[in-house]
Structure 1
Amino acid sequence: MSLRNTARRGAAAMVLAVLMPLALTACSGDDEGPAFVSATPSAAAAPQAGAEPLTLAVTPAEAAKNQPVSTEIGTKVTGGTVQTVTVTDSSGGKVAGAMRADGSSWVPSKPLKYGKAYKATVVVADAGGQTVEKSTSFTTMGRPSKKTGAGLYLFAEREYGVAMPVVIEFTSPVPVSARAGVERRLFVTTDPPQPGVWSWSSSLQVMYRGPEFWQTGTKITVRAALEGVPMGNGRYGDKDQKGVGNISTTKIEMKVDNATKQMQVFKNDNLVKTLPVSLGKKTTPSSSGTLVVMDKLRKTVFDTTDDPGNVDRYRVDIEYAQRLTWGGEYIHAAPWSVQHQGKRNVSHGCVNVSMANAQYLFNLTRIGDPITIKGTERTVRPANGWTAWSVTWDQFLKGSALPIPPELTGLGSTPAPSASATPQPSVSPS
Structure 2
Amino acid sequence: MTKRRRATILVAMVATASLALVGCTSEQDKKEAAKAAVPPPQLAISPAANAKDLPISTEVGLTVTGGKVTAVTLTDDKGGKVAGSLRTDGSSWLPDKALKNKQRYTAQVTATNDAGKEVTRTTNFTTMGKPDREIFSTLYFQDKRTYGVAMPVTVDFDPGVPKEQRADVQKRLFVTTTPAQPGAWHWTEDGQQVFYRAPDFWKAGTTISVKAMLDGVPMGKEGFGDADRTATARIGSKVSLDIDNDTKQMSVFKDDKLVRKIPVSLGKSSTPTSSGKMVIMEKHEQTVFDTTGSADPYVVTVQDAQRLTWGGEFIHSAPWSEGDQGSTNVSHGCTNVSAANAAFLMRTTQVGDLVTVRGTEVQLEDGNGWTAWNMDWDEYVKGSALPVPQDLKPAAAPPAAAGAPAPSGPPASNQPPAPAPSNPGG
Normalising by structure 2, report the TM-score.
Answer: 0.83
**Partner SS for 1:155:** coil
The equivalent residue for 1:117 is: 104
Contact 1:285 1:376 in 2 (8 A): yes
Q: Over residues 341-382 of structure 1, what are the superposed CA-to-partner deviations in whole Å (9 max), with x where a residue is unaligned?
A: 222322211111122111111111111111111222111111
What residue ranges of structure 2 are gaps of 5+ in the alignment? 1-32, 398-406, 418-426
Displacement after TM superposition at 1:65 (Å): 1.2
Q: Over residues 111-163 of structure 1, what are the superposed CA-to-partner deviations in whole Å (9 max), with x where a residue is unaligned?
A: 11111111111111222322222111111112211111211122224221111
The equivalent residue for 2:83 is: 96
Cα 1:411–1:356 shift into 2, 3 Å: farther
Verify: 1:408 aligned to 2:392, yes or no: yes
Task: From 21, 36, 39, give the equivalent of 1:46.
Answer: 36
User: Matched residues in 2 for 1:130 and 1:158: separation?
Assistant: 49
Q: Which moved more, 1:359-368 or 1:272-281?
A: 272-281
Displacement after TM superposition at 1:53 (Å): 7.5
Q: Which moved more, 1:96-105 or 1:187-196?
A: 187-196
Displacement after TM superposition at 1:54 (Å): 3.0
The equivalent residue for 2:180 is: 193
For residues 1-400 of structure 1, the aligned pairs below 5 Å read 45-48=35-38, 54-201=41-188, 202-233=190-221, 235-248=223-236, 250-304=237-291, 306-307=292-293, 309-310=294-295, 312-400=296-384
User: Matched residues in 2 for 1:141 and 1:105: separation?
Assistant: 20
Cα 1:411–1:218 shift into 2, 3 Å: farther
Amino acid at match of 2:195: M
Normalising by structure 1, report the TM-score.
Answer: 0.82
Q: Over residues 190-224 of structure 1, what are the superposed CA-to-partner deviations in whole Å (9 max), with x where a residue is unaligned?
A: 11111111211232221211111111112211111
Superposition RMSD in Å: 2.4
Cα 1:147–1:44 shift into 2, 3 Å: farther
Amino acid at match of 1:96: A
**Partner SS for 1:114:** coil
Cα 1:131–1:322 shift into 2, 3 Å: same
User: Matched residues in 2 for 1:424 and 1:241: separation?
Assistant: 30
User: Matched residues in 1 for 2:222 and 2:299: separation?
Assistant: 43
Contact 2:101 2:130 in 1 (8 A): yes
User: Matched residues in 2 for 1:213 and 1:240: separation?
Assistant: 27
Looking at secondary structure, tell me which structure has more helix per residue.
2
Contact 1:166 1:208 in 2 (8 A): yes
Contact 1:168 1:205 in 2 (8 A): yes
The count of aligned residue pairs is 375
User: Matched residues in 2 for 1:357 and 1:134: separation?
Assistant: 67
Displacement after TM superposition at 1:330 (Å): 0.5
Q: Which moved more, 1:158-167 or 1:99-108?
A: 158-167
Structure number with greater CO (CA < 8 Å, separation at least 6) is: 1
**Partner SS for 1:360:** helix
Displacement after TM superposition at 1:234 (Å): 5.3
Asked which structure has the greater CA Rg, the reply is 2
Task: Report the identity percentage.
Answer: 51
Displacement after TM superposition at 1:424 (Å): 5.0
